[in-house]
Structure 1
Amino acid sequence: MQFRGQLPAHIRCGVRKIALLIACWVLPAIAMAQSSQSGFKVLALAEKGGIHKPFVDAAKIWLAHEGAADGFSVDYLETTDSINEELLSHYQVFLQLNYAPYAWTPVAMAAFQKAIDQGTIGWVGFHHATLLGEFDGYPMWPWFSSFMGGIRWKSYIATFSSAQVIVEDPSHPAMKGLGSSLRIEDEEWYTYDMSPRPNVHVLASVDEKSYTPGSKITMGDHPVVWTNPHVKARNIYIFMGHHPELFNNQAYTRLVHNSLLWAAGR
């Protein structure tokens, strides 16, 4: 049957109902698919007090802004008490926000190690995450030391120095847009008992000759940003992370932004 001109009213009504049903089912499905592709969830284990609290507070403000722009959300913990395999399964990135690698519960240690070894979660760690040794009555975590390249914390520049950080692998996604170097002001550069370089892939190192003021506390070969290719998880360690003013440093925030997205597989 063919109709010339306008369709009968009952047919037009049926067409509108079908179109409405399609919109109700298809459009939300498209939106959900787009959300699942772009959004991700971050679990941040954050130091809750002490000298690193200002950095953590600044990081939370910055992460809220970035999350709104890039479509990720962040949940925060201040202890490892609730960390287990089931909790970690709900997140795509674990952010170790100046939280030291000791005083973790055995369950948290086992769950974190399994997630990193098997690659079920990405990881970005900052600064205090390499405070490896015997501290506050706790032994060193051997697996975490290996994860960080087999290092042990040795010393630091207590009076702070500014320095030039040299990009060693500009092709890595975490270093995109950083150029050949970035300037970091007033950092308390850690030193270790050895360079992690033989056991990790170094992305950037600090030029100790550029320390201002100069310091006798040096390593020689001094990596400060690296990733461990021997585990399945995408992982980045960023040493710089003492002062909140770092979040006013455009090169630094680009590094953190790039690292988060790469760790999430985006």
Structure 2
Amino acid sequence: MAALGLLATSAGPAGAEDEAESKVLIYTGTTGYRHAGAIDGGIGHIQNALDKAGIAWVREDCDGLGGAVGNCDHPDANPRVFTEENLAQYDAIFLFNASSQWLGGGRPGPLWDEEQRAAIRGFVNAGGGIAANHNAVDMGAGVTTWDWWDGGKDSAVGTLMPGHAASDLNNVATVRVADRRHPSTRGLPKEFSFGDEHYNFARSVRGDAHVLATLDEESYDPGPNAMGEDHPISWCKPYDGGRVWVTGMGHFPESYAANGGDNYLVKHLVGGVSWAAGKGAGGKCAP
């Protein structure tokens, strides 16, 4: 695993054909709340699954601002990573539990400055994809951090997360897969049980994005911000010239490690990353 501010890479499995191989930036930078357990416990399983899928990856990480080595504003971190020239080598960015600000206090934010945001937008405008999970779908703890990324219905995510169910692995929800043709859901059953810190969103994105999976709120305790009968948890859409795939799932390290990493969560995430990188038929993602 890479240390903070350092880089880890994979060339993909031996024998993979270069011209058919996608390359993904796995980004775990945080200036908001850091899901350290999920990041540290999940990254290896994600990397292994990407290797098996024939997707090359580079992992970049940073935490906090302040100029020190390992901080997101250090020259070795975000200022080097989020440039037009550097991002041009990738087909997709995977925001793996990345975060920008936390209202709990003591965290610096924002995650990206305006120049870095412009590079990300330019990457997507040029046809790049972004996949994001859990904290990256809630960059600002229920507050808009960047109107292009989160908040309004026309943003990349398309909503905010004002609250979530209890952080309890034993609060098991029934996940209902709405589209089993998409690369991120093709290997999943129609329904499966999943314990998580289940996210509740301010609005359903249905009609603005293609809903891939929903939560059945009657199967678990959704907490005070319940959404009701229509509770999307994973979705995708064409956006600003590129592709966006998101899921609220992925709080607990145990979920990534289950069955040695061969589990529904990892399959779902790697399929989403694959689609964001432009691989996989059947993933049109029209609303």
Q: Shorter-chain TM-score: what band?
A: 0.7 to 0.9
- 3-state DSSP of counterpart to 1:58: helix
* Residue 57 (structure 2) aligns with: 73
1:163 has 2:145 as partner: no
What does residue range 55-70 of structure 1 map to in structure 2 within 5 Å?
A: 55-70=38-53
1:175 has 2:185 as partner: yes
- 3-state DSSP of counterpart to 1:252: helix
* Residue 231 (structure 1) aligns with: 240
- 3-state DSSP of counterpart to 2:162: strand
CA distance in 1, matches of 2:16, 2:34: 41
The 3 A distance-change label for structure 1 pair 64 and 173 is closer
* Residue 160 (structure 2) aligns with: 152
TM-aligned CA deviation for residue 190 of structure 1: 2.0
Of residues 204, 208, 213, the one that matches 1:204 is 213
TM-aligned CA deviation for residue 59 of structure 1: 2.4
Contact 1:154/1:192 (8 A) holds in 2: yes
Unaligned runs of 5+ in 1: 1-32
CA distance in 2, matches of 1:151, 1:214: 18
What does residue range 210-225 of structure 1 map to in structure 2 within 5 Å?
A: 210-211=219-220, 213=221, 215-220=223-228, 221-225=230-234
What does residue range 1-266 of structure 1 map to in structure 2 within 5 Å?
A: 35-47=17-29, 52-71=35-54, 72-78=56-62, 79=72, 80-82=78-80, 83-101=82-100, 103=110, 104-119=112-127, 121-131=128-138, 140-145=145-150, 146-160=154-168, 161-185=171-195, 187-211=196-220, 213=221, 215-220=223-228, 221-249=230-258, 250-266=263-279
Aligned length in residues:
230
Higher helix fraction (1 or 2)? 1
The 3 A distance-change label for structure 1 pair 132 and 257 is closer
Contact 1:125/1:238 (8 A) holds in 2: yes
The 3 A distance-change label for structure 1 pair 144 and 183 is same
CA distance in 2, matches of 1:93, 1:198: 24
The 3 A distance-change label for structure 1 pair 65 and 155 is same
- 3-state DSSP of counterpart to 2:264: helix
Unaligned runs of 5+ in 2: 1-14, 63-71, 73-77, 102-109, 280-287
Could you tell me the TM-score, scaled by structure 1's length? 0.76
The 3 A distance-change label for structure 1 pair 168 and 67 is closer
CA distance in 2, matches of 1:162, 1:37: 42
* Residue 30 (structure 1) aligns with: none
The 3 A distance-change label for structure 1 pair 231 and 175 is farther
RMSD, matched Cα: 2.6
Could you tell me the TM-score, scaled by structure 2's length? 0.71
